[in-house]
């Protein structure tokens, strides 16, 4: 019976050197893009469409997500207009 720690077993299979830095950097770029771009834009879209019909729990959940993704929300806030249209006069 062979006894080996997990690191020794990984070295014997050559898996420690198999992690490519390009894969790691691309994973960071994808996660940062999701955090700063994709989810905040989805939250702005969701709030714009459902603002007047949201229930209490949905509003609480959305506010929690706004707090969680605040840096991305701040990036898009100057460029998006979420004001209501109001009544048009003819």
Domain range list for the chain: 20-79
- Residues 85 and 90: their CA atoms lie apart, in Å, by 14
Q: What is the DSSP letter of 77?
A: G
Higher pLDDT: 38 or 20? It is 38
Residue position matching structure tokens 């691309």: 26
The predicted-structure confidence for 36-76, as pLDDT tens digits, reads as follows: 999 999 999 999 899 889 999 999 999 999 999 999 999 99
* CA max distance for the chain: 88
Q: What percent of the chain has pLDDT over 90?
A: 51
Please state the pTM of the whole predicted model: 0.68
């Amino acid at each position: 019976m062979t006894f080996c720690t997990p690191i020794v077993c990984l070295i014997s299979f050559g898996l420690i050197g198999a992690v490519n830095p390009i894969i790691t950097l691309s994973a960071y770029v994808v996660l940062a893009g999701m955090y700063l771009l994709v989810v905040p834009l989805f939250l702005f879209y969701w709030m714009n469409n459902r603002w007047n019909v949201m229930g209490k729990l949905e509003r609480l959940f959305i506010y929690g997500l706004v707090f969680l993704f605040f840096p991305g929300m701040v990036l898009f806030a100057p460029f998006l207009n979420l004001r209501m249209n109001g009544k048009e006069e003819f």
